[in-house]
Chain A
Amino acid sequence: MNDAVEVTLRAVGVLAAFLVLPLLVGQTEHKVMAHMQGRLGPMYAGGFHGWAQLVADGVKFVQKEDITPAAADQRVFRFAPAVALVPYLVAMAAIPLSPDVVAADLPASAVFVLAVTAVGILGTLMAGWASANKYSLLGAMRAAAQLLSYELPMVLAVASICLAAGSLSLSGIVAAWSPWWLVLQLPGAIVFLVSAVAELQRPPFDMPVADSEIVFGAYTEYTGLRFAFFLLSEYAGIVVMSLLFAVLYLGGWHGLASDQLGWLWTLLKGFCIAVVVIWLRVAWPRLREDQLQRLAWLVLVPLALAQLALTGVWVVVAA
């Protein structure tokens, strides 16, 4: 019976983190972007600096009519948001905040997180095809091409880290982390960050949802709660990728008083990466489709391969 209680508690904990952290990142995006552009951002909802803006947005989304286009493939159209959202929920369960604060400590959690997040792209594809809308279809095709290209450098960058740590488990990677990695794994870290932003289809890699060309890509026909689920999956994706970056490259819970405050360090490092991801959106214009593919295949893949070779040599020499 005790096991059941513990499993329930862990699941509830992951769900709570899944619902709170993306909202926190979303609110940070509102405020950080606003201040970078000399604006104030939301100021009214909730009173203090508009802290409840996204809660109000959520209430608004719930009240909206749930429309499925008449020409759409009804079942696939309705199911797509769940396929986009659930993988990030599952991935979040495997990311450790400290040796104790982890919902499911898997032996190959680094591969697990990559494998699970790769499934999320199917949601975008299903949405784009089932909408029966040419903009949606174009958006889904762009998304598929982009995500397939950036999957490879990302997996290679993570492979390099796993090689250096001699472990496929995220906890094991943090345990093996040393400050030297900040230098030796720097190319891999950059490759990982760029591919993560591209996987999330965030600016400057937001070709699949380019509003000036194809309305909102695969999500054009969605309204209400289903649209909110797609938005939530984007922000949950930022949380997952930022935490993953903190765990893989920044040493996770290493820091002052890491025995007690380890989880806080991981969250703090992840939050800083999330702010960088937001910053990229404000700082760079959108890449064109050909520039996007060129970057993936001619810059990131060779860089990731070179990093992998470097790590391999280093591991063999050091061993």
Chain B
Amino acid sequence: MTALDVAFAAVGLVTAASGLLAVTTRHVVHAALWLVVCLGAVAGCYLVLGAEFVALVQLLVYVGAIVVLVLFALMLTRAPIGANPDISTGRLHRVLAGVLGAGVTALLAAALLPLAGPAVERRDTSTTQLAEQLFGTWVWPFEVLSVLLLVALVAAMAVSRMTRPSVAAEPAVTGEDGVA
């Protein structure tokens, strides 16, 4: 039991706890803020495991940009201060979510546990090694992923552009209760 083991256990615990809090809280903005803690702690996990660059990119991209976007979107809605009972789910959904979560956990455990050797050895991953892997061995998946993101981006723009004229043409449809 080295100091690194303790550190890994600690950040792992923080990750799990904040992840749980993020999905159980009724405050919608608090959920996003717990997600920040969770993603930051994941970066901590990478750091403890010796992948410094991955940890920093995780912080830069997820905490610095993606969660900020989530919060920005929440602010555009009417995210109220205080608990919001509307965001709760029914019992059936909870059971289904629990079953699904357990299934994914079992699948991951079945895939990963046989790989775990007796001794966990920490190796520092240098940025050069990472780059060689990313742009050598994994370059095609990497490029395909970026094309996927590009397609999503263009599609989002197309959707937002194409819905506008129809809304403008039929303003009465937007409000079913006649208030519009």
A residues whose Cβ falls under 8 Å from a Cβ of B = 71-73, 76, 106-108, 111-112, 114-116, 118-119, 121-122, 125-126, 128-130, 132, 137, 140-141, 144-145, 147-148, 151, 155, 168
Contact = CB atoms under 8 A, between A and B. Distances in A.
A68 to B, nearest CB: 12
Contact of B65 (A118, A126, A129, A130): A118
A115 B68 contact: no
Interface of B is mostly: helix
Given A132-B81, A137-B75, A148-B68, A119 B59 contact: yes
Contact of A121 (B57, B64, B74): B64
A128 B75 CA distance: 9
A114 B36 CA distance: 17
A108 B65 contact: no
B81 A72 contact: yes
Given A73-B82, A122-B68, 12 more contacts: A72-B81, A76-B33, A108-B53, A111-B53, A118-B60, A125-B72, A125-B75, A129-B74, A144-B72, A148-B68, A155-B60, A168-B127
A6 B96 CA distance: 54
Nearest to A144: B72
Contact of B71 (A107, A115, A129): A129
Contacts of A107: 52, 126-127
A126 B82 CA distance: 14
A197 to B, nearest CB: 18
Contacts of A144: 68-69, 71-72, 75
A140 B75 contact: yes
B69 A115 contact: no
B71 A125 contact: yes
A132 B27 CA distance: 14
Most-contacted residue by chain B among A106, A115, A116 (CB, 10 A): A115
A119 B36 CA distance: 10
A73 B74 CA distance: 15
Given A107-B127, A129-B29, A115 B56 contact: yes
A126 B81 CA distance: 12
B48 interface: no
B68 A108 contact: no
A145 B72 contact: yes
A106 B52 contact: yes
B65 A148 contact: yes
A57 to B, nearest CB: 31
A125 B68 contact: yes
B38 interface: no
A144 B126 CA distance: 33
Contacts of B11: none
Most-contacted residue by chain B among A106, A128, A144 (CB, 10 A): A144
Given A122-B68, A129-B29, A115 B59 contact: yes
A119 B53 CA distance: 16
B56 to A, nearest CB: 5
A155 B69 CA distance: 17
A245 B75 CA distance: 33
A119 B63 contact: yes
A18 to B, nearest CB: 20
A116 B60 CA distance: 7
Interface in B28-83: 29-30, 33, 36, 40, 52-53, 56-57, 59-60, 63-65, 67-69, 71-72, 74-76, 79, 81-82
B63 A108 contact: no
A151 B69 CA distance: 13
Contacts of A126: 33
Contacts of B82: 73
A124 to B, nearest CB: 10
A141 B75 contact: yes
A116 B63 CA distance: 9
A115 B52 CA distance: 12
Contacts of A76: 29-30, 33
Given A111-B53, A122-B67, A129 B60 contact: no
A116 B81 contact: no
Given A118-B65, A125-B68, A108 B127 contact: yes
